[in-house]
Amino acid sequence: MFLAGTEHVFTHRAELDRINVFPIPDGDTGTNLALTLRAMADALKGVRDCSVADVASRLAEAGVLGARGNSGMMLSHYFLGFAEGLDGRKRAGPEDLAFAMGRASESIYQSVDRPVEGTILTVIRESTEEIDHFVRQVPDLAALAWRLLRAARASLERTPKLLPALREANVVDAGAKGFVRFLEGVVGLVEGRARATAPSATVLETPDAAALAKFPDDPDRAFQYCSEFVVRGNPLPGREAMVQAVRELGGSLVVTRASSVAKIHLHTDEPDRVKQALTALGSDVECVKAEDMRAQHRRRRQKTARRVAVVTDSTCDLPPELVLEHDITVVPLTVMFGDDAFLDHVEITHEEFLRRLVDPTQPLPTTSQPSPAHFEESFRRAAEQADNVLAILLSGALSGTLGQAQAAAARFTGASVRVFDSRSSSLGLGLQVIRAAELAREGWELEKIVGELERTRERSGLYLTVDDLQYLQRSGRLGKARAFVGSLLDLKPILSVDSEGAVVPVDRVRGREVLVQRVLELLRRQVPRERARLRMGVVHVDCLDVADLLASLLQTEFMPDGLLVRPAAATLSAHTGPGAWAVFYQAE
C-alpha cells in the first residue's frame, strides 16, 4: 500500500509543484514529497515476511535521511511517530492503525518549531481525529482507508480559510494535497487499481500559482536558502538543543530525530552559520542541501518553452548574478580539510577557504567530485525547465567529475541529457557555459548548441601560472607537465591545456613582470583575429592586484566584448595554491 501511495504522489508531483505557494512559492513541494517517499520506498526493496512494525521502522529510518523540503521532512516524522505507535506489533487491525496514526499526528507537531495551521499538519490532525471517533465502526482496513481519505479531502478544502497565502492564490496547501494524493493511491490499490492513474486534463491545466505568487518580503519568510543538514553524534544532541542552536538563524524549522541521526530543515540566509552552530554542539554535521529559493522562484516566473537547460559544476567560476540570469544549474564539488568537508561556493566562502589554506595548523586541502546521485538530482531540476539537458563540465582529463555525470546521464529518464567535456576549467569552462545558455535562451536545438560549442572550444585557450609548486605537484593533475614543473627550481611555469584538456607546459620565466609580458605575447599569437566576439577572463588565488593589472592590460590590448575577473573556486585553488593566476580567451 505504501508503494501505491508513493507512485500516486510521484504521478501528480507537477500539480503539487504548481500550487506550492506557502511558505515560499518555490514550486518544489510535489517533487520533494515524491523524492522523500521514493527514498522510503527503496528501504522496502527485498523485504519479505516482516512484521508491520518492522516495515514502519524501516520506512521511518529511511525517511530521516531521505526527507526533502518542508512537507517531506514533516511526512518523514509522521512515519517515525507511526512506527512508535505500532510498538513492535506483527500485525495491526483498524484500531491498532488508528492508534499509530494518532501517535504520528502528535509526533509531526513535535517536529515543527512553529506549527502553522492550514498546512499538511492540519489535514493529518483532523483526518486522524475523524478516524479516532469512528474506528470501532469500520469493519476492515479498506473501510478505514476510505474514511481517512474522505476526512483528509474535507480538511484539505478548508486550508485556504486558515492561510491567507492560499486564499490569495486560490489554491489548497500543496503539502496537504500531497498527503491526500498518497491516501488516494492507497485506496486505489485497496479498490483494485494496481497503478496510479494519470493526472486529468483539469489537473494538467492547473495555473502555475507558484510562478504567479509574489516572493514574500516579511522577515519571517523572506529567506534565501532552503537548507538541510544531517547531524550525527554519539550521543546525538537533543532535539531542543538543536532547535535553540539554529532558531534565530531562519524560519520553517523542522527537526527529525532518530536514535543516531537527525535531519534539520531551515530556511535561512546563512547556511554556513547554521552548520557552525550545529557543529558547536559536538556533532558531525553535513549540509546536504542549500538551494536558492529566490532563484527557484525567478526561474519559475521566467520559465518558457525552452528546448535546452544548462548544467555545469562549481569550478566554472562564474559570478552568481550570471548564473541566475541564465538559469544555469550548478553542481558543487567538495573541498576537504582533513575530516571537514565543504560544498564549494555553498558551505565555504572564498575568504574562509584562503584562511584555512594558509593556516599551518590546517591539513592540506583535498577535493572530491559530485556523486552520480547529485548529478541526477541536478538533471531533474534542470529538466523542469526544458525538454533537454546539456551538462558542460570540467575537463575529463583533470577530474572524475565528467565520468560521474556520464554515469548519472545514462540512467536518467526525466529528459534527454547530453554531457559535454569542456576540456578546460575555471572560466575556460564558464565562458562555454555562458555561450550555451545564451543559445538555449534563443531557442537553439541541443545538437546545434553542441556543434557551436565544439567549434568555439577549438578557438579558446588559457594560460596558467602558480607561485608555489608544491600544490600542483601534490595534486596529480600535472600530466605531461610533471617533469617540466619538477625541474623549475625558482622559475615560474606557464602552463596550458591541450586539445584533450590535459595540463601541458608552455614556458618558464623568472620574475612577475617578465611573466605577465610573456603571457601577453602568447595571447597575441593564439587569440584568433577573425572573430565575431571575444570573451576573456582572469582568475586568481588571493592575488587581486595581479588580476586587476592583467585585466587592464587585456582590455587595452584586445578590447574584448566581455571581461570577467574572478577568485578561483576552492576546489581549483586547492590544487594551485595562493598566488596562482590564469587568463582565458574564447573567440566566437
293-351 pLDDT per residue, tens: 998 888 777 654 578 999 999 999 998 888 877 878 899 999 999 988 888 877 787 88
Cis amide leading into 164 (omega within 30): no
Size of the chain in residues: 588
Check residue 207 and report its DSSP letter: -
Rounded Cα–Cα distance for residues 268 and 277 (Å): 13
294/298 Cα distance (integer angstroms): 6
CA atoms of 8 and 499, how far apart (whole Å): 49
Per the CB < 8 A criterion, the answer to whether 27 and 37 are in contact is no
Order across the sheet with 581-587: list the strands: 503-509, 492-497, 460-465, 581-587, 534-540, 562-567
Which residues are bridge partners to 503 per DSSP? 497
Give the model confidence (pLDDT) of 277-305 as tens digits. 999 998 899 999 999 999 888 877 765 45
The C-alpha cell at 480 is: 605531461
Q: pLDDT band for position 585 (50/70/90)?
A: very high
Q: Which residue has the higher pLDDT, 162 or 491?
A: 162
Q: What is the mean pLDDT of residues 417-441?
A: 97
- pLDDT value, residue 244: 96
As a whole number of angstroms, the distance between CA 265 and CA 76 comes to: 12
pLDDT, one tens digit per residue, over 203-213 is: 434 578 898 89
- Rounded to 10°, the helix 141-162/94-111 angle is 30
Cis preceding linkage at 320, omega within 30:
no
C-alpha cell at 303: 520559465
Residue type for 328, please? I
Say whether pLDDT at 121 is over 50.
Answer: yes
Mean pLDDT to the nearest integer, 3-9: 86
Query: In 112-191, which residue ranges form alpha helices assigned H by DSSP?
Result: 120-134, 141-162, 164-169, 174-190
> What is residue 43's predicted lDDT score, i.e. its pLDDT?
82
pLDDT in tens, 130-165: 998 888 888 888 889 999 999 999 999 999 999 999
Does the structure show a pLDDT above 50 at 467?
yes
Q: What 3 state SS string does 236-300 have?
A: CCCHHHHHHHHHHHEEEEEEEECCCEEEEEEEECCHHHHHHHHHCCCCEEEEEEEEEHHHHHHHH
What average pLDDT does range 492-502 have in this prediction? 93
pLDDT > 70? residue 194 = no
pLDDT at 72 over 70: yes
Contact 536, 393 (CB under 8 A): no
C-alpha 128: how far from chain center: 34
Query: Residue 228: pLDDT above 90?
Result: yes
Q: Is the pTM of this model over 0.85?
A: no
Residue 500 CB contacts under 8 Å (≥ 6 apart), including other chains: 397, 423
The dihedral built from the CA positions of residue 8, 14, 20 and 26, taken in this order, carries a sign that is positive
pLDDT given for residue 302 in this prediction: 67
d(CA 20, CA 329): 21
pLDDT value for 197: 44
What confidence score (pLDDT) does residue 472 get? Answer: 64
Pick from 11, 22, 30, 19: which is nearest to 381 by CA?
Answer: 30
CA atoms within 13 A on the CB side of 157: 5
If we measure between CA atoms, which residue out of 468, 478, 438 comes closest to residue 586? 438
Query: 275: which 3 cell numbers?
Result: 552548520
- Per-residue pLDDT band for 221 (boundaries 50, 70, 90) equals confident
Domains belonging to the chain, first-starting first, are: 2-212 (1.25.40.340), 218-292 (3.30.70.2730), 293-456 (3.40.50.10170), 459-587 (3.30.1180.10)
Q: Quickly list DSSP for 335-375.
A: EEETTEEEEBTTTB-HHHHHHHHH-TTSPPEEEEPPPHHHH
Q: How much is the mean pLDDT over the chain?
A: 89
**Cα end-to-end span (Å), the chain:** 56
Coil, strand or helix at 525: helix
383-407: per-residue pLDDT in tens? 877 889 999 999 999 999 999 999 9
**The pLDDT value given to residue 49:** 67
Could you give the angle at which helices 239-246 and 271-279 cross, rounded to 10 degrees? 140
